[in-house]
Structure 1
């Protein structure tokens, strides 16, 4: 007798068989297979937890209006007596957490991911969506560096009124203004992007602490470590880009993702030209 659990969508009528449990960002999820044999992911909230259901519904509303190859797609949703659930497309590759595992990644691979993430942020900001936190557990990448944003549970759109008194997500990747309870805006995402890029380049985030309070104080008061001491081979322009993203004051960061992308493109082009000049002729 099989112990497999089936969920039926009240929206499409499709049945989904749960195969295994894993995590998407900070939430438990399931790999599943629908009645046509297609593989998918399912995120669910218990029927007794109305706050979790409201958050999942909001994530569904956001996903339904997005269309980008770097974002998981909403395929279906449903509710039964035990839970409310979303059905999502699968992402190729592994989480950035799994790819990192405390080691430094190849510079060319990091630059590919950095470009993909910056373009993803550019798209989301154009749709009026703020990420609020970018964590390696919320992002998948394949062997070519093609990156997919799989956990949008922390995002909000700029027409909504967020609870500015709550610090959302993992404090390792939170901006200083988010930590003090200010309403976050687009340059907060640039800070989180800088934290993640620092980690991709060095194998560790710029700030590490044993508790949320310690991390919060470091984001607010402590300059980030000299990234070149952790990885001496980095181009100076890339070091300057990371430092600018990690500025404590929003006004000292890139004014928008467009400016960030322009700088990143110039760095990538310069790195490629430098490599080409080293090839024997």
Structure 2
């Protein structure tokens, strides 16, 4: 053993770091007693100012060791030596799904298989009252036996309220922004359905190469989860089977009550290849012309993982969905041809009559909106203006007023930049933010000032984009703590909005 290698419990030799997470550092290590390679996760208790972090680490060891499942990482040992707490786990060869996504979307069959294994792990965890709260591609890793393992239960929340509740208090946001359920993004109490939402985000990302929502900042992403409509996965991945698209949409429901009731139901859908509710082939979500993708046999699907070179995809047999019978509720269809054409024809006739009424009568001309009001057409009507009227037409509607809407856009950028830098310096003086992070913000501030002086909108956006990129990476890497990020996120977003409004 070299002099710079550490040994824990007089047994585990830490060879090299292989990753970092919100709860510590992960090392490739050697178990000198059993002579095998292991992964050791460590946390320096001497540097932890939040007492609950150490308690969460201890709980991770306890709950993960108690959860024996082929799709959950195996825990071998745990302990505390001096100021170092450690967790000894099986060493996974990888890659993680996050690594695999660097190569692009996965074959549909691999997505189904990965989803099946993760749903099985979640079903086992939820049955014990455990909520993972950070399901994402980086926490799903290929194991040596050909399966995938769910790792990092470091921010797990026990499903039932009790002594653990103080460790996962309401209004505390934990997890990764791109995979947070709406109720989790707003800091509310969550249950297993938050993990199902995250699984929906993972399936969406595996099918399309990107998560369903990604904003300029973590807080913008969380707000998209909470308010923006769910994208249709088939728009980005047309070969997605209808039943799988329906499952992903149901998992991404904003209201937890509208999602599948449990991981067991999701697992059943993935194994039987049916949409939620048991409609074979998800004909209900696919429209009249959709076909149902049925499993070729009753056997368990062949295990093909989203790592390495996937086997060629062979389409399964297809079948036309059965007609609705007396005991079958009518299906909601998007592609129904007969009634839809009637409605379209009626709508066209109505529009034609309306257009004739408005534009065919030359005695009463109707003013049409214009992007530039005419200065040579004074108002001639003596009638009072209506109390409510449509806003002036705009190519880009502004849902929420911003300082740039009522003030000089350049001044709005300056004000937003100053507010952000003031908060950064306040955090640095409090000891919450280190000097390196402050230097990043100061450098971005100088770039923004120069772009404003040059009245260069392109350079201003480039400076903003670099600031957002550096800021987001610092938050994800843990260099900017979560409590500091909660104060900085709104200010970064305000600056980004002001830059968008600036025209030079």
TM-score w.r.t. the length of structure 2 is 0.51
Q: 1:246 aligns with which of 252, 261, 265?
A: 252
Q: 1:193 aligns with which of 199, 202, 209?
A: 199
Q: Which residue of 2 aligns with 1:275?
A: 315
Residues 1:236 and 1:86: Cα distance change in structure 2 (over 3 Å): same
Q: Which residue of 2 aligns with 1:70?
A: 71
Q: Which residue of 1 aligns with 2:56?
A: 55
Between the aligned partners of 2:185 and 2:110, the Cα distance in structure 1 is 31
Q: Which one is further off, 266-275 or 130-139?
A: 266-275
- The alpha-carbon deviation at position 7 of structure 1 amounts to 2.2
Structure 1 position 119 matched with structure 2 position 125:
no
Q: Which one is further off, 36-45 or 144-153?
A: 144-153
Structure 1 position 210 matched with structure 2 position 216:
yes
- The alpha-carbon deviation at position 271 of structure 1 amounts to 4.8
Structure 1 position 232 matched with structure 2 position 228:
no
Structure 1 position 80 matched with structure 2 position 52:
no
Between the aligned partners of 1:139 and 1:110, the Cα distance in structure 2 is 12
Q: List runs of 5+ in structure 1 lacking aligned partners.
A: none
Residues 1:145 and 1:207: Cα distance change in structure 2 (over 3 Å): farther
- The alpha-carbon deviation at position 261 of structure 1 amounts to 1.9
Report which of the two structures shows the higher radius of gyration computed on alpha carbons: 2
Check conservation: 1:172, 1:207, Cα contact below 8 A.
Answer: yes
Moved over 6 A (4+): none
Residues 1:99 and 1:25: Cα distance change in structure 2 (over 3 Å): farther
Between the aligned partners of 1:8 and 1:262, the Cα distance in structure 2 is 43
Q: Which residue of 2 aligns with 1:44?
A: 42
Alignment size in residue pairs: 274
- The alpha-carbon deviation at position 265 of structure 1 amounts to 1.9
Relative contact order higher in (CA < 8 Å, ≥ 6 apart) = 1
- The alpha-carbon deviation at position 118 of structure 1 amounts to 0.7
Check conservation: 1:104, 1:201, Cα contact below 8 A.
Answer: yes
Check conservation: 2:19, 2:26, Cα contact below 8 A.
Answer: yes
- 1:15-60: CA deviation from partner (whole Å, max 9, x where unpaired): 1111111226544210000113211011111131244322211111
- 1:198-227: CA deviation from partner (whole Å, max 9, x where unpaired): 001111100011212101110011112221
Check conservation: 2:181, 2:225, Cα contact below 8 A.
Answer: yes
Q: Which residue of 2 aligns with 1:18?
A: 14
Q: Which one is further off, 200-209 or 65-74?
A: 65-74
Residues 1:276 and 1:254: Cα distance change in structure 2 (over 3 Å): closer
Q: 1:30 aligns with which of 27, 31, 36?
A: 27
Between the aligned partners of 1:153 and 1:31, the Cα distance in structure 2 is 18
Task: Find the residue that maps to 2:16 and give its secondary structure.
Answer: strand
Between the aligned partners of 2:231 and 2:103, the Cα distance in structure 1 is 16
Q: List runs of 5+ in structure 2 lacking aligned partners.
A: 275-280, 282-292, 297-313, 319-504
Check conservation: 1:198, 1:227, Cα contact below 8 A.
Answer: yes
- The alpha-carbon deviation at position 272 of structure 1 amounts to 4.0
The structure whose residues are more often strand, as a share, is: 1
